[in-house]
Amino acid sequence: MPGRYPLRWVSAGHGFIRRMTLDFLASLCSPGVLCQILVGLSRTVILFIVASGLSLILGVLRIPNIAHGSLYMIGAFMAYTVSRIFGGGITGYCMAILLAPLGVALVSFIIERGIFSRLYEREHIMLFLLTFSFALVFGDLVKMVWGAEYRTVPLPAFFQGSIPILGLPFPIYNFSLLLIGPLVAVALWLIVNKTKMGKISRAAAVDREMVGAVGINVSLVFCIVFVIGCFLAGLGGALVAPIVNVVLGMDHTLIMEAFLIVIMGGLGNIWGALLGSLIFGLTQSLGILVWPQFGIVFPYAAVIVVLSFRPTGLLRSTW
């Protein structure tokens, strides 16, 4: 109501807030902070790749694949082994990026054909628990095969060092991740929207009975989608291997973050996964800058905020 508070108090308050916000934004725009944000974003490219696979499976098969994190971990460990077999260096790395995701895809193919496909008529919660059983099994399988110590995958010389961005050194590998992310997004978009298989899988996501009634082998479609989704998980694991410690338990935190991203972005929506990953990465980086101890809470809070306005996620979901 005009005249309620003395006008000069109001304008003083406005001016104060405006100055605080501008100061904050200015500090953000300092090269150091921007660089840190970019590094954080390059890590979330990995999250996006894994989350897009999860979103694909969730959208078409309607299964929240808890084992996705374990497949990511298997991808990382496989990358380690393949890289060792090929003697490290750039060949080792390239072979790892190629073979590890394929290996994960093979594993997922086996479990899909062997067990999953028999259970598609069951209630969702049973399928969900089944993926959890696989997560448990894979977690220990990795321990059995690779042991409990952490592994490191050597970063090839090509990627070592940094390039100057905004006058500050920015790791080359992280920079290439920033390039790979959108490439994967575009490739996925092409597959889902421009290929026949993609169109069929989108139809199956909406109405699987109809698709089956038209004579298409829905089971085969599900298999392909599942394998592609798991391939992405393996790819994420292989890509992240050189810059983190490949260790047991990397599946647990990742699957939580991937779930958050998928929920935030809209189930089954690839661009939603991209948007969700961006928001996640940004809020996490900003959060750590602003409040280091509880920085990790910011992405979760962002999810809650998004979901209070759009309960089904930011972009259209297939559910």
Sign of CA dihedral 130, 132, 136, 139: positive
Q: Helix or strand or coil: residue 168?
A: strand
Beta bridge partners of 148: none
Chain positions 279 to 298 lying near other proteins, rule: CB under 8 A, are 293-294, 296-297
DSSP tag of 314: S
Minimal distance, residue 42 CB to other proteins, in Å: 22
**What helix, strand, coil percent values describe the chain, rounded to 5?**
75, 5, 20
- To other proteins, the closest distance from the beta carbon of 126 in angstroms equals 6
**301 scored as a contact of other proteins (CB under 8 A):** yes
Count of residues touching other proteins (by CB under 8 A): 43
The answer to whether 12 contacts other proteins (rule: CB under 8 A) is no
Per-residue binding string, other proteins, 78-117, x by CB under 8 A, is: -------------------------------------x--
For residue 170, the SS3 value is strand
β-bridge mates for residue 163, sequence order: 170
Which of 282, 257, 266, 260 is closest to 317 using CA atoms? Answer: 266
Choose one: 26-34, 123-131, 161-169, 190-198; the region binding other proteins (CB under 8 A): 123-131
Q: Does 229 bind other proteins (CB under 8 A)?
A: no
Decide if residue 303 touches other proteins (CB under 8 A). yes
Radius of gyration (C-alpha) of the chain in whole angstroms: 22
Distance of CA 54 to the CA centre of its chain: 8
User: Applying CB under 8 A, does 224 fall inside the site for other proteins?
Assistant: no
Q: Does the footprint of other proteins cover residue 18 (CB under 8 A)?
A: no
Q: Which of 86, 120, 132, 175 binds other proteins (CB under 8 A)?
A: 132
Out of 157, 304, 305, 316, point to the residue binding other proteins (CB under 8 A): 304
Residue from 124, 199, 310, 316 that binds other proteins (CB under 8 A)? 124
User: From CA 87, how far away is CA 175, in angstroms rounded?
Assistant: 25
10 or 119: whose CB is closer to other proteins?
A: 119
Question: Is position 140 an interface residue for other proteins (rule: CB under 8 A)?
Answer: yes
Considering only 143, 199, 310, 316, the residue that binds other proteins (CB under 8 A) is 143
- Which element (helix H / strand E) includes 72? helix 68-85
Regarding 312 and contact with other proteins (CB under 8 A), the answer is yes
Cα 91 to its chain centre, rounded Å, is: 26
Phi and psi, residue 168, nearest 5°: -115, 150
Sign, Cα dihedral of 192, 197, 200, 201: negative
CA distance 252 to 231: 18
Residues 21/251, Cβ–Cβ less than 8 Å: no
**Least spacing, CB of residue 244 vs other proteins, in Å:** 19
User: 269 and 55 in contact (C-beta within 8 Å)?
Assistant: yes
- Under the binding rule (CB under 8 A), the answer on residue 134 touching other proteins is yes
For residue 310, state whether it binds other proteins (rule: CB under 8 A): no
Binding status of residue 141 toward other proteins by CB under 8 A? yes
- The residue range among 5-13, 33-41, 195-203, 253-261 that interacts with other proteins, by the rule CB under 8 A, is 253-261
Interface residues toward other proteins, by CB under 8 A: 62, 64, 66, 115, 118-119, 122, 124-126, 128-130, 132-137, 139-141, 143-144, 252, 256, 259-260, 263, 267, 293-294, 296-297, 300-301, 303-304, 307-308, 311-312, 319
